[in-house]
Amino acid sequence: MTHPAATLVPFARMNGIGNEILVVDLRGVGGRVTPDAARALAARAETRFDQIMAIQAPRMEGTDAHIRILNSDGSEAEACGNGTRCVVQALGSETGQKSFRFEIAGRLVAAEEHGDGTVSVDMGAPLFGWRDIPLSEEFADTRAIELQVGPIDAPVLHSPAVVSIGNPHAVFWVDNDVWSYALDRFGPILENHPLFPERCNITIAAVTSRNAMTIRTWERGAGLTRACGSAACAAAVAAARTRRTGRAVEVTLPGGRLRIDWREVDDHIVMTGPAEWEWSGRLDPATGDFERDAPEVASA
């Protein structure tokens, strides 16, 4: 139950191809969603989420909002493409606006909703330098680094590509079905491997054609997820960089499909996909206590 003196703010439970998102509106209120509140919300079946997108008043000129991202373990994330699409849809339904510019983790992120309801997010340019990802030791070529799972003479996974999409990613290439690997077992080990000082998102990727691939991701701070937009971007960029695909690919994730275009003109990655509203309510950003909005009563 929410304390009577608590300040409640609007939020919506949404998803981006199965990536469970809570969009929390802190504009005009200030403050922030606390790690304790995030963990409390994640612990309840009704509000379980992968990321919280906390919308705050803009701090930078020319932006529509400042967004902070929290994982389900209360840690902060630097990027969430699926969540950004949810924010665009939520704000767009409120204002009718179609194009937005956000400040997220010090980066400018542009996004646009299309007539068919899909949203494109400019995820910026990828970073490949070992310090930028970051890694704890030097690798001259981050298209394939020395890291493996399983016996030395017969590894289950090995030689991932690593890249930063504002957050760190490791992409392991496989020939078999991505569902045939125990990602729930080795995902947390690799996420916390000493090679990754800021932890890492771990993806298994199977390229199916020059313009298509299938992936599964263990998401840093959230665990197994039905979709991770930045992981789709990382896999697409890594595939193009290693000449497995072209620069435009369709990425199939457990929750659905995303279109990823790595533009040559400016090196930016553009991710396009849908977002879905589920229900709304109000919550206490300090504790995570919440109440659902009453469902609309259909007119006779």
Active site residues: 80, 228
Phi, psi at residue 193, to the nearest 5°? -65, 140
Amino acid, single-letter form, for residue 225:
T
Distance CA 199, CA 221 (A): 9
How far are the Cα atoms of 130, 139, 170, 246, 283 from residue 236, in angstroms, in the given order? 19, 21, 12, 9, 37
Residues 279 and 10 sit within 8 Å (Cβ to Cβ): no
Write the DSSP assignment of 43-81 as a string of letters. TSTTT--SEEEEEE---STT-SEEEEEEETTS-EES--H
Distance CA 166, CA 256 (A): 23
DSSP category for residue 36: H
Amino acid, single-letter form, for residue 91:
L
Radius of gyration of the chain (CA): 19
Write the DSSP assignment of 77-130 as a string of letters. ES--HHHHHHHHHHHHHHH---EEEEEETTEEEEEEE-TTS-EEEE----B-ST
- In the chain, count H helices and then E strands: 4, 20
Residues sharing a CB contact under 8 Å with residue 90, sequence separation 6 or more, in sequence order: 12, 14, 23, 277
